[in-house]
Amino acid sequence: MDDLDKLLARVRSYNPHTDADLIARAFDYGRAMHEGQFRRSGEPYFTHPMAVAGILSEQQLDDSTLVTALLHDTIEDTKSTYGEIARRFGSEVAELVDGVTKLTNLQLSSTETKQAENFRKLFMAMAKDMRVILVKLADRLHNMRTIKAMSEDKQHKKARETMDIYAPLAGRMGMQSIREELEDLAFHVLNPDGRSSIMRRFITLQRESGDVIDKITGDIRAVLDRAGIAAEVQGRAKKPFSIWRKMEEKEIGFSRLSDIYGFRVVCETEAECYAILGAIHQRWRAVPGRFKDYISQPKSNGYRSIHTTVSGRDGKRVEVQIRTRQMHEVAETGVAAHWSYRDGQRVHNPFAVDPAKWIASLTERFDSAEDHAEFLEAVKLEMYQDQVFCFTPKGEVVKLPKGATPLDFAYAIHTRIGDSCVGAKVDHIRVPLWTRLKNGQSVEIVTAEGQRPQATWIDIAVTGRAKTAIRKSLREEDRSRFIRLGLELARVAFDQAGKRMSDKALTAAAKQLGLKASDELLARLGAAEMTTREVMRTLYPELAHAREEEIDASKAVVGLLPDQAYHRGDCCQPVPGERIVGITDRGKGVRVHAIDCDALVDVEDHPERWVDIAWHAGTHPPIHSVSFDLTMANGAGVLGRICTLIGEQKANISDLRIIDKKPDFWRLIIDVDLRDIEHLHTLRLALEADSDVATVDRYRAPARGRQAAE
């Protein structure tokens, strides 16, 4: 009973009135149910639920959540049932255990369509009771701490899912300590060499400069003592992944990286926060552009703190966070602070966000997403956002994610304002719509009657709200055009298959694919949101097994005149499966661009040059060159293995250029010949999975784009 005694002692330290009998009964029941089960490490399985409960007790959570942690795998992995859990421990616990079980069965890293649907289920579960996701995060944290017992393939899959989904979700919920640990554990699996490199440099830095953290902590305490302010000062080195991410974003080496140490000052009152800020700025020079006041403008997850960066000891940049004790509790536990206990009572923290309101703000626009891709995009935008605060001309505050543009600002005010936007003024100066807004700026939107959203706005906008509104408007405007193009694509596909196209066949296909009518099916075909291959295989499953002949490269594009030739734009390198548009070249045929190509901006005012085209449905030969921007470890045999990996994916390397050499990593551009967008995604996934590949992105050259559209 030693483990149970430790758990109860920890719970009693913050909740003396805990129902110890309930927790003990859950402990005995869970241990009995998992009797004879073992983890991959060889430990008894029940050590895992105990560890999850321990993690949640560190967050000072309520009895029901802790009991759920002890029982969270019983319904899935033992003979226990929902009814038995409800009878023994009550309906509240049974609902929570059932919710965690359903989350465990969700494949959040599956195909995009299924992933989007599973994300919907995830947020529905969160909306029902946020404690479900708290247990799931603790479950994932312990699994990541013990991940070495898994096979290498499963380690990579779990680590990638953790980095892409669970860590950002923890951050969005304000649970920063859990987010940082999840990121670092995943980083250790996905890029062990990169993490080791940073750790080695940390050790070298400490050897050269001594214990910098103790020295700077002492400096800050001395400043506060002179100012007569009592406060707690904490210092720490930032996590390896946080440093790695900053190096990648700024494209600089470790030696040039500043503020790798973070310091926190925790006081009692808000007034003391600003007094401490003044004392620190009097002692050290503030770094311009590195001040954020999240006390006067809190984040949506309840986070409040003052952030400032100063040039401290020996000129080293030091980030200092200043907050009250109540703010600190929310900063450490985020949304979980709503359930925290102290001295046997639920803590009323004025800064803790009401979970029901938080989840409502997170999901309010998801229902307006008309398809899986839009929903998934909206979820990820909301999960990864950091905020900036701008003002309307009347002084009203508008919260936007980092990197937002005047278009996002316009749609945040009202959809009508966004749709009719023709320009913007920032701090009374006219700026382009793609300008990135900064904290504290005043933004005025210029509108005009009759203005409609442009296709290029989708790439300018950052927020899910703006992107959804723009797409909806474009769909309404372009629907008839897409239906005509979709009809042509469908006719060609039916002819190729030797089948007769009819309204009845199209209606049947729409019904099988979950669409309301044949017009919606045709519109999606015309917009390249669905392929004719999907339609034909839905109606005629036998075609799925038929060997398809490769399409003649000269006939790969549908929608051209009989005498028109086409050329792929070097700027965006479109491949079959992507939505495309044609631009007539003077005497040179039609230049094919991806719909999101930057070069299209130059021909916005020449609609007569635009041509409605689409890729021919079917199998294309692997002749479409695509450039990848790849960062990989600088080690013996790594480049050769990467080239072999590309060959194994049935792709041919047509060119390779090393553009940056660093002691640990190389950055290079690789040109690869591919069949279509599916081939591209498959290759990219294979490269991302390699332990020596740090990043891989599709490379597009904007300079060539200007020439391509002329």
Q: What is the pLDDT of residues 401-419, one digit of tens each?
A: 778 899 999 998 998 999 9
Please enumerate in sequence order all residues whose Cβ is within 8 A of that of 630, keeping only pairs 6 or more positions apart, or say none: 642, 667, 668, 669, 670, 687, 693, 695, 696, 697
Picking from 515, 560, 561, the residue whose alpha carbon sits closest to that of residue 535 is 515
What does the pLDDT read at residue 705?
39
What domains are there in the chain, each with its CATH number? 2-190 (1.10.3210.10), 194-346 (3.30.460.10), 624-708 (3.30.70.260)
Q: What average pLDDT does this structure show over 437-457?
A: 85
Residue 308 has pLDDT above 50, yes or no: yes
Q: What is the CA radius of gyration of the chain?
A: 28
Cα–Cα distance for residue pair 36/38, rounded to 1 Å: 7
Residue 594 has pLDDT above 80, yes or no: yes
Lowest mean pLDDT among 12-16, 75-79, 428-432: 12-16
What does the pLDDT read at residue 301?
67
278, 621, 688, 701 from 684: Cα distances, Å = 50, 18, 6, 19
> How close are the terminal C-alpha atoms of the chain, in Å?
77
Cβ 89 vs Cβ 44: under 8 Å: no
Max mean pLDDT among 201-215, 295-309, 527-541, 694-708 falls in 295-309
Convert the pLDDT of each residue in 220-276 to its tens digit: 999 999 999 999 999 887 788 877 776 765 555 555 555 577 899 999 999 999 999
What does the pLDDT read at residue 287?
84
* pTM of the shown model: 0.54
State yes or no: is 367 an active-site residue. Answer: no
State yes or no: is 319 an active-site residue. Answer: no
Pairing of strands 261-267, 317-324: parallel
Residue 112 has pLDDT above 70, yes or no: no
What does the pLDDT read at residue 213?
81
Residue 367 has pLDDT above 70, yes or no: no
**More confident of the two residues 146 and 708:** 146
Residue 639 has pLDDT above 50, yes or no: yes
Q: Is 573 left (phi over 0), alpha (psi -120 to 50) or beta?
A: left
What does the pLDDT read at residue 708?
41
What does the pLDDT read at residue 427?
87
What does the pLDDT read at residue 124?
66
Residue 107 has pLDDT above 70, yes or no: no
Confidence bin at 707 (pLDDT 50/70/90): very low
Torsion of CA 56, 59, 65, 71, to 10 degrees: 10
Of 58, 76, 459, 529, which residue is the catalytic one? 76
Please give the helix or strand (H or E) that residue 409 lies within, else none: helix 406-413
Give Cα 676 distance to the centre of its chain: 25
Q: What average pLDDT does this structure show over 99-121?
A: 63
Average pLDDT, the chain: 81
Residue 126 has pLDDT above 70, yes or no: no
What does the pLDDT read at residue 409?
93
Measured CA angle at 230 (ends 228, 233), to 5 deg: 120
Q: What average pLDDT does this structure show over 497-506?
A: 85
Convert the pLDDT of each residue in 131-182 to its tens digit: 888 899 999 999 999 998 888 888 998 898 888 778 887 877 778 888 889 9
Residue 363 has pLDDT above 50, yes or no: yes
What does the pLDDT read at residue 626?
95
Kindly state the percentage of the chain with pLDDT values over 90: 25
Cβ 155 vs Cβ 189: under 8 Å: yes
Of 3, 19, 58, 77, which residue is the catalytic one? 77
